[in-house]
C-alpha cells in the first residue's frame, strides 16, 4: 500500500504580531503514521500546530490531503478532518462533559452515535457525564479533550503536549487508547518537550529548535542526536 502524504508543511513561517516564531518549517506526515514533534519550551511546537489550524498568520505552504489550507478559515480546516487537542486542554470548564462533547458534535455535524463511541473509548467519562468539566481530574480532562477532538471522526489528530501534568499510569492508559484509535486508520501528530514520552507512541520524530527543524528520523536516533547536541529537556 502506497502511503500518501496527509500533512505537508513547506517553508512555513509564522508570526505573533511582528515576531517571527517559525523560521521556515518543512515537514511531512504520511497517512497512518504517528509522528512526534519535540522541542524545548518556546521552540515553536504549539506555534506549528496552531499554524496548521490557521490560527496564526503564516507564510509558506501547508497542505492537508493534498489541498492548500493556508488561507482557509479554521473551522473549515477542522471540518476537513483535523482534530485538535490543545495544550492545556482548553475545555469548557463551566459546561459538563456531555455538553463539551455536544459542542464538538455541533461543530462536526455528527450524529448521536458518536457519543457512545466516545464513552466506549473512555468509560471513565461515562459516569461523570453530567459533571462540570472543571471538576474532573487531570487524566479525565485529557480524556475529554481527546474525545472531543475525535467526535468529528478526523483523519489527522493534532495533540499538543497531551501528557502534561499527568501521572505515568494515566499516560499508559492514554497510550492504550491511542493504539486503539490508530487501528482505525487515524494519523497522529503530537508534540512533546522530551523524547521520553514520545517513545511509546511515535514512529518517528522531528526535533524543532528556535523555529527550525533540526532533526528528522527514528526515535532512538533522535535521542542520541538530542544528547549529542545538549538539548537538555
User: Where does this chain bind another protein (CB under 8 A)?
Assistant: 53, 55, 73-76, 78-79, 84, 86, 90, 92-95, 99, 102-104, 106-109, 148-149, 151-152
Strand partners, 208: 39, 213
Nearer to another protein, 84 or 189 (CB): 84
Q: Please choose, from the candidates 159, 54, 151, 155, the residue with its C-alpha nearest in 3D space to the C-alpha of residue 108.
A: 151
Nearer to another protein, 90 or 126 (CB): 90
Angle at 183 between CA 201 and CA 193, to 5 degrees: 20
C-alpha cell at 143: 480524556
Burial (0-12, 13-18, 19+ Cβ within 10 Å), 101: buried
In the complex, the smallest distance separating the C-beta of residue 73 from another protein, rounded to whole angstroms, is 8
In the complex, the smallest distance separating the C-beta of residue 74 from another protein, rounded to whole angstroms, is 4
In the complex, the smallest distance separating the C-beta of residue 89 from another protein, rounded to whole angstroms, is 9
Start-to-end CA span in the chain (Å): 37
In the complex, the smallest distance separating the C-beta of residue 100 from another protein, rounded to whole angstroms, is 8
Nearer to another protein, 133 or 208 (CB): 133
Nearer to another protein, 101 or 195 (CB): 101
Does residue 88 contact residue 129 with C-beta atoms inside 8 Å?
A: no
Q: Residue 136: phi, psi to the nearest 5?
A: -80, 160
Nearer to another protein, 106 or 135 (CB): 106
In the complex, the smallest distance separating the C-beta of residue 228 from another protein, rounded to whole angstroms, is 36
Amino acid at each position: 500500500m502506497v502511503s500518501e502524504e496527509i500533512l505537508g508543511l513547506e517553508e512555513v513561517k509564522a508570526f505573533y504580531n511582528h515576531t517571527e516564531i517559525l523560521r521556515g518549517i518543512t515537514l511531512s506526515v504520511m497517512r497512518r503514521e504517528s509522528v512526534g514533534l519535540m522541542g524545548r519550551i518556546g521552540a515553536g511546537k504549539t506555534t506549528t500546530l496552531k499554524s496548521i489550524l490557521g490560527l496564526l498568520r503564516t507564510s509558506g505552504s501547508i497542505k492537508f490531503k493534498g489541498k492548500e489550507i493556508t488561507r482557509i478559515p479554521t473551522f473549515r480546516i477542522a471540518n476537513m478532518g483535523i482534530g485538535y487537542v490543545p495544550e492545556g486542554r482548553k475545555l469548557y470548564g463551566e459546561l459538563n462533559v456531555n455538553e463539551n462533547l455536544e459542542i464538538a458534535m455541533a461543530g462536526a455535524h455528527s450524529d448521536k452515535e458518536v457519543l457512545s463511541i466516545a464513552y466506549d473509548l473512555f468509560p471513565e467519562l461515562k459516569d461523570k457525564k453530567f459533571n462540570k468539566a472543571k471538576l474532573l481530574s487531570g487524566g479525565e480532562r485529557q480524556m475529554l479533550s481527546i474525545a472531543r477532538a475525535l467526535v468529528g471522526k478526523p483523519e489527522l489528530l493534532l495533540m499538543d503536549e497531551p501528557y502534561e501534568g499527568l501521572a505515568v499510569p494515566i499516560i499508559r492508559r492514554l497510550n492504550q487508547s491511542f493504539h486503539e484509535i490508530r487501528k482505525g486508520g487515524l494519523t497522529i501528530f503530537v508534540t512533546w518537550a522530551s523524547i521520553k514520552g514520545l517513545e511509546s507512541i511515535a514512529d518517528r520524530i522531528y526535533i524543532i529548535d528556535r523555529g527550525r527543524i533540526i532533526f528528522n528520523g527514528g526515535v532512538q536516533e533522535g535521542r542520541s542526536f538530542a544528547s549529542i547536541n545538549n538539548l537538555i529537556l
